[in-house]
Structure 1
Amino acid sequence: MRKILAAGLAIGALVLGLGVVRALSADAAVVPPYHPSRLRDIGDSRQVVVVTGNGRTSSYATLRTYQKNSNGSWSQKFAGMPARNGYAGWEWASRRVQNTGTTPMGTFRITTAFGLKANPGTRVKYIHADSDDYWVGDNRDPKTYNLFQSKASGTRTWRKGESERLAAYPTQYEYAAVINFNRPLGSTISWDTAHGQYVTSQPKNVKLGSAIFLHINGAGSTAGCVSLRRADLIAVLKWLDPAMTPRIVMAPLADIGRA
C-alpha cells in the first residue's frame, strides 16, 4: 500500500511539475504588445524605438529599442529605459493641438538629430546648433513651420517669440533626435535666399504643433517631447542607423498596438 501511495505521489508530482513547466513556457511565449512583431505601421524599418506611456494622462514612460535580425526575428538592443513625456499625457497625432503639453501618439521616422555640442557619434544627419539657431513654431508662417532655422536673419518671415531658441535649453538640447511628427519631407525643404531661412513647399498643419524631439531629461515632464537620461539618449543616438530606416512608435501601453 505504501509503495502504491508513494508511486501515486511521485506521478502526481511529475504531472504537477510538467504543468508548471508548460505554464512557464506558455508565459515565456507571450509576446508583449509593444514588440515590433505586433506593431502595425513600422513598414521596412529594421530599427524600432518603442515608447510606452503609463497611461493617457501620465507623463511617465518606458523606451525600448529593437533591431531586426537577418532571419526576420527581432532582438532588443538595450534594456528598457525610463522616460518622460508631455505634462498633459498623450493625444493621437491627428488630433493633437499645439501648446497643449501632449505627446503625439503614432509612428514616425527618425532621420535627423541635432545638438548644442558636436556629434556624439550618431550616423543620422546631425546638425550642430549654435546660440542663434531656432526651431520655428510660428503658426502664422506655414512655410517655415516646424523647421530648423540656422540663423534668425533680420529678413525672416517667422517670429522669434513663437519659436524655440535651442540654446535656451542647454541641458535638454545638448543632444536630440528629431521625431518626424507633422514634418515636411526632406526633399521639399529649400533655402530662401531673399529672407535667409529654410522653407518648405509642402506646409504642414500649423495647429498640430512642432518641435517634437527625443532629448535629454530636464527637471521633469516635457511639453510634448520624450526625454531620457543623458547616457541613455547618447546610446540610442549612436545606435541609430539611417540604412535601417529607424522609426519611433509612441503611445500609452494600452494603445501601442494601434499607434
Structure 2
Amino acid sequence: MDPRSGAQCQDGPVRIDGVRRVVVVVAALGTLLTALSACGTAVRDEGEPEGVGHAGPSRAESHDPTRIPNVGDRLQRRIPAESGQVVAVYGEGRDSAQSTVVLYTRHGTAWQRTRSWAGHNGKRGWTTDHRSGDRRSPVGVFTLTDAGGVLDDPGAGLPYTQDPSFAAPRWWAESHWHDFDYVIAIDYNRVKGTPPNDPRRPEGEERGGSIWLHMDHGSGTSGCVSMSKSDMEYLLRTLDPDRHPVVVMGDRGELAA
C-alpha cells in the first residue's frame, strides 16, 4: 500500500540387485507398477511449483509447455502474446495468506520455470472483486511496469524510483518497517509509467490500489504479495521491460478456472 496514505499493503526408486529368477523379477515389476499407479495424480509437473496442489489429470495428460501450469483458459487468455516473463502467484486457498511465487520465462513457444519462492498474500486471502480495506489480494493478470523503494536501485530492469517516502510509518509494528525497501508495482488500478506510490486511482478509490510485490514480514498483507529481500532483488534484476512481464495471481481454484 501507499506508505504516504498510511494504508497497510501488506518419486522412491525400486532396486532389484542380482536377481536371476524370472518369477522374482516379475513380482518386483508388479510391485513397481502398483506403486506407480498409486501415485496417480500426485506426480508433480516439473513446471509446477512445490507446495502447489495438483488437482487435475496426470502429468502425461495435462502438461503443455506452451501454457503456464495450473492456470485455466480464462486467465491464460489474458496473458499478452508478447509477454516473455510471467510471475505466477499460487495462493494456497481462497482464505489463506500463504502462497508460492514462481517466475516462468518463455523460450520460443515453451514456458520454463526459472525460480520459485515462498510468499504471502492478503491476510484474508483472495478476491475477484477487490475493494479498499478488504485485506484480500485481487485475482487476475496484471502488467509489471514500475519499481521503486526506500533502498537504492539494486540494478533493476524496470524503471526504479528511489525515495525515502516509500518508508512504512513508524507507528506500524517494527516487523513491517522494511516492507517497502523494495517494491514492484502490480498494475491494478494505477497509472502505468509512474512511481509505485503514485496516488492516482483510475477506477476510483473504492477499488483500492497500491497493490505491490514487496518485502516479506512473515505474515499476510493487506492485499500485496510479499517475498524475502533476496527474492525481491532477484526479481528486480531479472524482470525485463522488453519482455513485457506480467503477474498471474490468485488462489488455486480461481487460477485453474
- TM normalised by structure 2 equals 0.69
Distance 2:101 2:255 in 1: 12
* Equivalent residue, structure 1, for 2:3: none
What amino acid does structure 2 have at the position aligned with 1:41? R
* Equivalent residue, structure 2, for 1:116: 150
1:87 to 2:111 alignment:
no
Q: Is the 8 A contact 2:68 2:111 kept in 1?
A: no
**Structure 2 spans left out of the alignment, 5+ residues:** 1-20, 46-58, 170-175
Deviation at 1:34, TM superposition (A): 5.5
Residue 63 of structure 2, aligned match among 31, 52, 59: 31
Provide closer, same or farther for how the CA distance between residues 89 and 21 of structure 1 changes in structure 2, counting only shifts above 3 A. closer
* Equivalent residue, structure 2, for 1:230: 229
Distance 2:168 2:35 in 1: 57
* Equivalent residue, structure 2, for 1:105: 139
| TM alignment of 1:90-169, pairs within 5 A | 90-92=126-128, 95-131=129-165, 166-168=167-169
- TM normalised by structure 1 equals 0.68
Provide closer, same or farther for how the CA distance between residues 59 and 120 of structure 1 changes in structure 2, counting only shifts above 3 A. same
Percent same amino acid among aligned pairs? 27
Give the secondary-structure state (helix, strand or coil) at the position aligned to 1:51: strand
Give the secondary-structure state (helix, strand or coil) at the position aligned to 1:207: helix
Distance 2:221 2:131 in 1: 15
What amino acid does structure 1 have at the position aligned with 2:191? P
Aligned Cα RMSD in Å?
Answer: 3.1
Deviation at 1:218, TM superposition (A): 2.2
Q: Is the 8 A contact 1:36 1:66 kept in 2?
A: no
Distance 1:238 1:55 in 2: 30
Distance 1:109 1:247 in 2: 4
What amino acid does structure 2 have at the position aligned with 1:87? K
Distance 2:182 2:192 in 1: 22
1:220 to 2:254 alignment:
no
Deviation at 1:17, TM superposition (A): 4.9
The one-character-per-residue Cα deviations of 1:41-91 (angstroms, maximum 9, x if unpaired) are 212211000001111111111101100013x1111111x211111112111
Give the structure with the higher percent strand.
1
* Equivalent residue, structure 2, for 1:65: 103
Deviation at 1:219, TM superposition (A): 4.8
The alignment of Structure 1 onto Structure 2 pairs a total of residues equal to: 205
Give the secondary-structure state (helix, strand or coil) at the position aligned to 1:77: strand
Distance 1:11 1:230 in 2: 53
Deviation at 1:31, TM superposition (A): 3.5
The structure having more radius of gyration, on CA atoms, is: 1
